[in-house]
A and B are shown apart, each in its own frame.
Chain A
Amino acid sequence: MNAPAYNFAYLDEQTKRMIRRAILKAIAIPGYQVPFASREMPMPYGWGTGGVQVTAAILGPDDTLKVIDQGSDDTTNAISIRKFFEKTAGVATTTTTSEATVIQTRHRIPEAPLQEHQVLVYQVPIPEPLRFLEPRETETRRMHALAEYGLMHVKLYEDIAHHGHIATSYAYPVKVNARYVMDPSPTPKFDNPKMDDCPALQLFGAGREKRIYAVPPHTTVVSLDFEDHPFERYRHEAPCALCGATDSYLDEVVIDDRGGRMFVCSDTDHCETRRADGHRGVQPEALA
């Protein structure tokens, strides 16, 4: 008898049941943070333990998993998590957004439009959007219960008072289904509009903070703003140096010690797909 060393997808069945029940309640109350009994995982907090536990609870043998970290399939975090599930669940993995059924992400939403059959799992460091305004959990919980979100508007107003515009550029607060204010995780605000009326189910897991929340498909997600200072997306005003894209979110890469820099797509799959289709930027050989 050669029993496998792990249960399918690492977590034991009792833990999966507990997480699955939390996921169902999270979907039923869009944007509300459901407490769950987060487990220790074989990776440190901050490396996506919340996302990994959500993925482990939903993943099946027929799934195809994609993992991205800041848009990239090729960073240590993304590769490690992909290998973790290859080893413990034996699932197929991919870097191609359109081929994936489950996409675990750290800090980006893919550029390619998501589809009905896909699930996007976010790794979340601080799930409570009000935490830096009010440190007491009892108080933030009550503020959510009463939909008392004036403090968040004060914060955005202070941005305008200090900077002349809303300077919050990531983890930009949203209101889900006209009720709960939610932290979209530290995605750039460029990605916020992709969450609204998204065909895919979006699940959020915060391991250290022990919270799961969700946005069902085709649900309204509105970025908070003011009539005279409406929400604006932000991207560097440049085409991608590799593929020439003018509509994708860009990373700024310093390339020498004389102030040289280039802008490249943050979503590596999007950039590679465009280059394979023949699109070229001004420095297509920069990575060669």
Chain B
Amino acid sequence: MQSVQEASSIGAAVIAAQSTFRRVMDATARPGSIEVIPEIAGAPAPLSQAAAAIALTLFDHDTPVWMDAPLASSEAVAAWLRFNTGCPIVADQAQCTFALVADASAAPPFESFALGTPDYPDRSTTLILQAATLTGGPELVLSGPGIRGTASLRVGGLPEDFVMQHAANRALFPRGVDLLLVADNHVAALPRTTIVTRA
């Protein structure tokens, strides 16, 4: 029986969760902006620091979580998530509220996740993709709600057909998945409304 590390004391967790949420909210409200997530200690690899902080902020017993193979094969990650958030871990992508993807380049097709229904488009998966970088990859040009004119984001390590997949996801609007892209302690968001093109 291995022991699981508690993420932080309760008082500090309240402020850390608020701070992390505001960064994620700002990122979602302004696609393309890169926000810095407060540091947390003890997240087990291959769970990145930012993904772990977002998990502590948004996951609980109401949010089924799906993980890709590198994360799902780590008993330490599952134990850390269960102990610190109480989230159910599920194998069915179409049933999850959140998906944690350690290897963004090998992410499953977006349409295999929960897409919401026409009546309840909010009941869709939010994917948390661990990217190689948010600043050093090929340039993506973004436009849509939250963006004044256009914005750019240089995400490295996305699937080859990412732009096509995201366009197909956007075409489902108001249904569709929403993406949080994380690298180290940074987060950026691509909600379903964002128009993404290659520069």
Complex contacts, A60 vs chain B, CB 8 Å: 15, 18-19, 22
- Is A25 at the interface (CB under 8 A from chain B)? yes
CA distance A268 to B137 in the complex (A): 49
Interface string of B67-97 (1 = CB under 8 A from A): 0000000000000000000000000000001
Q: Which segment of A150-158, A215-223, A235-243 sits at the interface?
A: A215-223
Q: Which segment of A27-35, A128-136, A270-278 sits at the interface?
A: A27-35
Interface string of A134-146 (1 = CB under 8 A from B): 0000000110111
B174 near A29 with CB under 8 A, answer: yes
Interface size class of B (residues with CB under 8 A): 35 or more
B17 near A28 with CB under 8 A, answer: no
CA distance A95 to B164 in the complex (A): 48
A28-B15 contact in complex given A17-B60, A20-B21, A20-B57, C-beta closer than 8 Å: no
A13 near B17 with CB under 8 A, answer: yes
A145-B119 contact in complex given A21-B63, A23-B25, A27-B28, C-beta closer than 8 Å: yes
CA distance A9 to B14 in the complex (A): 10
B145 near A30 with CB under 8 A, answer: yes
Complex contacts, B58 vs chain A, CB 8 Å: 17, 20-21, 24
- Residues of A17-67 at the interface with B, using a CB-CB cut-off of 8 Å, are 17-18, 20-30, 32, 34-35, 57-61
**A-B contact sample (10 more), CB < 8 A, given A24-B28, A217-B30:** A16-B18, A17-B57, A22-B122, A25-B124, A27-B25, A34-B122, A58-B18, A141-B119, A177-B193, A216-B29
Interface residues in chain A, defined as those with a beta carbon under 8 Å from any beta carbon in chain B? 7-9, 13-14, 16-18, 20-30, 32, 34-35, 57-61, 141-142, 144-146, 177, 179-180, 199, 201, 214, 216-219
